[in-house]
Amino acid sequence: MCELMAMSANVPTDICFSFSGLMQRGGNTGPHKDGWGITFYEGKGCRSFKDPLPSAHSPIAQLVTDYPIKSETVVCHIRQANSGEVSLVNTHPFIRPMWGKNWTYAHNGQLADFKTKLAITYHMPIGETDSEHAFCWILDQLLQHFGKDVPTPEDLFHYVIGLCQQINKLGVFNLLLTDGDFLLVYCANNLHWLTRRAPFGKASLIDAEMVINFDQETTENDIVTVIATQPLTDDETWQKMQAGDGLLFSKGQLICQYTKKS
pLDDT for 6-46, tens place per residue? 999 999 999 998 999 988 887 788 777 888 999 999 988 99
In the chain, the percentage of residues whose pLDDT exceeds 90 is 77
Assess whether the previous peptide bond of 93 is cis (omega < 30° from 0): yes
Q: What is the mean pLDDT of residues 175-179?
A: 98
Backbone angles phi and psi of 244, in degrees to 5: 95, -5
Given a contact cutoff of 8 angstroms between Cβ atoms, the answer to whether 258 and 246 are in contact is yes
| Half-sphere exposure for 31 (CA within 13 Å, toward CB) | 5
Sorting pLDDT into bands at 50, 70 and 90, what band is 156? Answer: very high
Question: For the chain, what is the mean pLDDT?
Answer: 93
| Structural domain harbouring 94 | 3-258
DSSP 3-state percent helix, strand, coil across the chain (nearest 5):
25, 35, 40
- Residues 220, 73: Cα–Cα separation, whole Å: 20
- Residues 110, 107: Cα–Cα separation, whole Å: 9
Q: What is the mean pLDDT of residues 96-111?
A: 95
Name the pTM for this structure.
0.95
Residue 186 has pLDDT above 80, yes or no: yes
Question: Which CATH number does the domain housing residue 211 bear?
Answer: 3.60.20.10
The pLDDT, as a whole number, for residue 82 is 72
The pLDDT, as a whole number, for residue 91 is 93
Residue 104 has pLDDT above 90, yes or no: yes
In the chain, the percentage of residues whose pLDDT exceeds 70 is 98
Q: What is the mean pLDDT of residues 128-141?
A: 97
Q: What is the mean pLDDT of residues 225-242?
A: 95
How many domains, the chain?
1
Residue 152 has pLDDT above 70, yes or no: yes
Q: What is the mean pLDDT of residues 114-143?
A: 96
Residue 262 has pLDDT above 70, yes or no: no
The pLDDT, as a whole number, for residue 147 is 95
**Residue closest to 22 by CA, chosen among 111, 89, 140, 106:** 106
Residue 177 has pLDDT above 60, yes or no: yes
The pLDDT, as a whole number, for residue 26 is 79
Sorting pLDDT into bands at 50, 70 and 90, what band is 1? Answer: low
- From the list 2, 76, 164, 187, the catalytic residue is 2
Residue 252 has pLDDT above 90, yes or no: yes
Given a contact cutoff of 8 angstroms between Cβ atoms, the answer to whether 58 and 34 are in contact is no
**Residue closest to 42 by CA, chosen among 10, 2, 71, 77:** 71
To the query of whether residue 2 is one of the catalytic residues in this protein, the response is: yes
Sorting pLDDT into bands at 50, 70 and 90, what band is 81? Answer: low
- Residues 174, 130: Cα–Cα separation, whole Å: 13
Q: What is the mean pLDDT of residues 184-190?
A: 96
